[in-house]
Amino acid sequence: MSLTVVGSVAFDALETPFGKRDKVLGGAATHFGLSASFFTKVNAVGVVGGDFGDDEWAVFKRHNINTDDIEIVPEGKTFFWSGRYDYDMNSAQTLDTQLNVFETFEPHLSENSKGANLLFLANIQPTLQLGVREQCKNAEFVAMDTMNYWITSTKDDLIETIKSVDCIIINDAEARQLTDEPSIYKAAKKIMDLGLKAVVIKRGEYGATLFTKDGYFATPAYPLESVFDPTGAGDTFAGGFMGYLASQKEITDDTMRRAMIYGSVMASFNVEKFGTERVDELDYPEINQRFKDFKQMTHFDNIPFEKTAAA
Amino acid sequence: MSLTVVGSVAFDALETPFGKRDKVLGGAATHFGLSASFFTKVNAVGVVGGDFGDDEWAVFKRHNINTDDIEIVPEGKTFFWSGRYDYDMNSAQTLDTQLNVFETFEPHLSENSKGANLLFLANIQPTLQLGVREQCKNAEFVAMDTMNYWITSTKDDLIETIKSVDCIIINDAEARQLTDEPSIYKAAKKIMDLGLKAVVIKRGEYGATLFTKDGYFATPAYPLESVFDPTGAGDTFAGGFMGYLASQKEITDDTMRRAMIYGSVMASFNVEKFGTERVDELDYPEINQRFKDFKQMTHFDNIPFEKTAAA
């Protein structure tokens, strides 16, 4: 099955306790697309400026990502974000945001992008997300992300957009903020009640949880001693999740569970180097080995305790 | 195999968003012993005052816990702790601590308690823990807990005590504080290097992780929409963990993994009501059902992604 992603393509300047980069390829659609490309054919929809160069395009090409719908504004500059992480790598401090060509971004989807079986609406303005969702009438499974900014500024639009999709993939703080519920279990239930098939909550170093109508699934994060650069981890997770689902014949509870693991696998690689560096160089044996590691680190035998009285 | 626990027996006054209790049975040895009693024969070592009444003794009796080594100081009062939890149930605010008879507690172990195969040193002064450990020469598997107070005030003694045991069961903040390592993976490795066989790190609502020489195991917490009273959850976890190990013929990586789940199962029940109320009334079908729930919520099929090129 094919997969379309709509979202930002960007340059990032990053500072972490482990080093510094002035300009690396970033953006939600980039991280998502790269991650998903290991599992399926990806169409990326976005916008870049004239400063987007051959090296950047080469990353998309290497991974066979269809960039026909990445609009180029030759006189404009690509979206730029600059951030710093301290030793607590769970949250970034934004140093600078220059929306540039992204400020007036209006997604234009070719028939090819519109015809994808799966669609991911990365974090952009909710009404734009809704517009894209409505153009992709035949998409069988649509997922979306969002952020605190939209929850605060355009909550009603956001709720309408959520009602139009099958799945939301957000972090725990966003789930709490969206629902005013301190418990993520109650928060997830409230979001499910908007008519979703699945709610995925990303919990950073604590892993991720999947809520479906009948089920609950939790996976820990991969035990990394050092997180080098967490930028894009959430989108890389979503890319592994949606990419894997697109590679399967059916979207079932079982395939979604494995998709959670492949998402976690891809995110764990993403944070090992700056920007897209690590995922760009990945191969299948590495992916499969880490999938196996997740199985190994969560497996236990299902043996009930049979005693009927404390003896 | 038999199991001895040394630690506090107490009265607690508790205030949570869900209610209030002026005086409930508590203490580390109590919560641990009750939890472990579902899996094995427990000897409890502690001290209480003349105010410890028939209702309290009855709880131990109901669960067939050997209380011969719980000393009674008729003219003294039982250790009393008063605490409050706000909506963030992860940390308690201590309102009052009256050590009473616990202030001069010196554990006296009968031959029976000394002869146990497994020993748990609940959170007390490290030199007292070490003294008990040395009296139990034949214990095959000794685990301990501690707290921030001892890490700050008597770190050298604490390190000596840790070196004498096989396993430590502490929470993530304590692991970080003990090792000055923000990463719990690095922290666990540093603690392992003191000569332990296993390090168990409790992460509250995020579950628990087990580090052994060759392996790593992670379990989420049970998804409870409401945590009624978290007091004693850590000791209840430890009781399920050690109690289950005591019920097994051998302590292996496999039995420790299941012990992690039984620990999580027991802790998840503990927080459903005040004090010991919920664990006191538990039965085996409930325990086995929740164990099964843990399997269900963490299981995925180990199917590698076989594609060798993004198509």
pLDDT at position A308, please? 56
CB atoms closer than 10 angstroms to residue A286: 13
- Mapped onto helix, strand or coil, the DSSP state of residue B205 is helix
- What separation in angstroms does the CA of B304 have from each of A115, A262, B34, B117? 28, 10, 43, 42
Q: Could you tell me the two tokens for A196?
A: 């979703």
Order of strands across the sheet with B198-202?
B66-73, B42-49, B3-6, B118-121, B141-144, B167-171, B198-202, B208-212, B216-219
CA-angle at A77, arms to A72 and A81, nearest 5°: 115
Q: Could you tell me the two tokens for B306?
A: 């076989």
Cβ contact B8:B107 at 8 Å: no
Alpha-carbon gap, residue B212 to B234, rounded angstroms: 20
Half-sphere exposure of A215 (CA within 13 A, CB side): 20
Give the torsion sign (CA, B130, B26, B226, A295). positive
Q: Which amino acid is at B297?
A: M
Residue-level pLDDT, tens digit, chain A, 311 residues: 899 999 999 999 999 888 999 999 999 999 999 999 999 999 999 999 999 999 999 999 999 999 999 999 999 999 999 999 887 676 789 999 999 999 999 999 999 999 999 999 999 999 999 999 999 999 999 999 999 999 999 999 999 999 999 999 999 999 999 999 989 999 999 999 999 999 999 999 899 999 999 899 999 999 998 888 999 999 999 999 999 999 999 999 999 999 999 999 999 999 999 999 999 999 999 999 999 999 999 999 999 998 754 44
Would you call A94 an interface residue with chain B, using a CB distance cutoff of 8 Å? Answer: no
- How many residues are there in chain B? 311
pLDDT tens-digit readout, B206-252: 999 999 998 999 999 999 988 889 999 999 999 999 999 999 999 99
| Residue B211: closest C-alpha in chain A | A297
- What separation in angstroms does the CA of B112 have from each of B5, B35, B43, B67, B263? 12, 20, 8, 11, 25
Cβ contact B144:B168 at 8 Å: yes
pLDDT at position B308, please? 56
Set of chain A residues whose Cβ sits within 8 Å of the Cβ of B257: 299-301
- Mapped onto helix, strand or coil, the DSSP state of residue A6 is strand
Alpha-carbon gap, residue A220 to B254, rounded angstroms: 19
Would you call A57 an interface residue with chain B, using a CB distance cutoff of 8 Å? Answer: no
* Inter-chain residue contact B300 with A254, CB threshold 8 Å: yes
Q: Mind telling me how many Å the CA of A101 is from chain B's nearest CA?
A: 30
Order of strands across the sheet with A42-49?
A66-73, A42-49, A3-6, A118-121, A141-144, A167-171, A198-202, A208-212, A216-219
Order of strands across the sheet with A93-98?
A19-26, A10-16, A79-84, A93-98
Q: Mind telling me how many Å the CA of A232 is from chain B's nearest CA?
A: 20
Phi, psi for A16 (deg, rounded to 5): -130, 170
Half-sphere exposure of B114 (CA within 13 A, CB side): 11
Q: Could you tell me the two tokens for B253?
A: 């990586």
Pick from B35, B1, B6: nearest CA to B251: B1
Phi, psi for B158 (deg, rounded to 5): -60, -45
Set of chain B residues whose Cβ sits within 8 Å of the Cβ of A38: 305, 307, 310
HEC string of A36-86? HCCCCCEEEEEEEECCCCHHHHHHHHHCCCEEEEEEEECCCCCEEEEEECC
- What separation in angstroms does the CA of A186 have from each of A151, A199, B227? 18, 12, 12
Alpha-carbon gap, residue A178 to A155, rounded angstroms: 8
Set of chain A residues whose Cβ sits within 8 Å of the Cβ of B64: 310-311
pLDDT at position A92, please? 83
Pick from B8, B13, B48, B58: nearest CA to B32: B8
Alpha-carbon gap, residue A258 to B305, rounded angstroms: 10
- Mapped onto helix, strand or coil, the DSSP state of residue A96 is strand
* Inter-chain residue contact A261 with B37, CB threshold 8 Å: no
Q: Could you tell me the two tokens for A156?
A: 């009603």
Would you call A307 an interface residue with chain B, using a CB distance cutoff of 8 Å? Answer: yes
Give the torsion sign (CA, A42, A117, A184, B275). negative
The torsion of the CA quartet B37, B39, B40, B44, rounded to 10 degrees, works out to -30
CA-angle at B238, arms to B274 and B131, nearest 5°: 115
Would you call B190 an interface residue with chain A, using a CB distance cutoff of 8 Å? Answer: no
Choose from A39, A300, A301, A302 for mutation: most chain B CBs within 10 A. A300
Pick from B236, B278, B251, B178: nearest CA to B5: B236
Low-confidence ranges of chain B (pLDDT < 70): 88, 90, 308-311
Give the torsion sign (CA, A189, A194, A200, A203). negative
Give the torsion sign (CA, B8, B9, B10, B16). positive
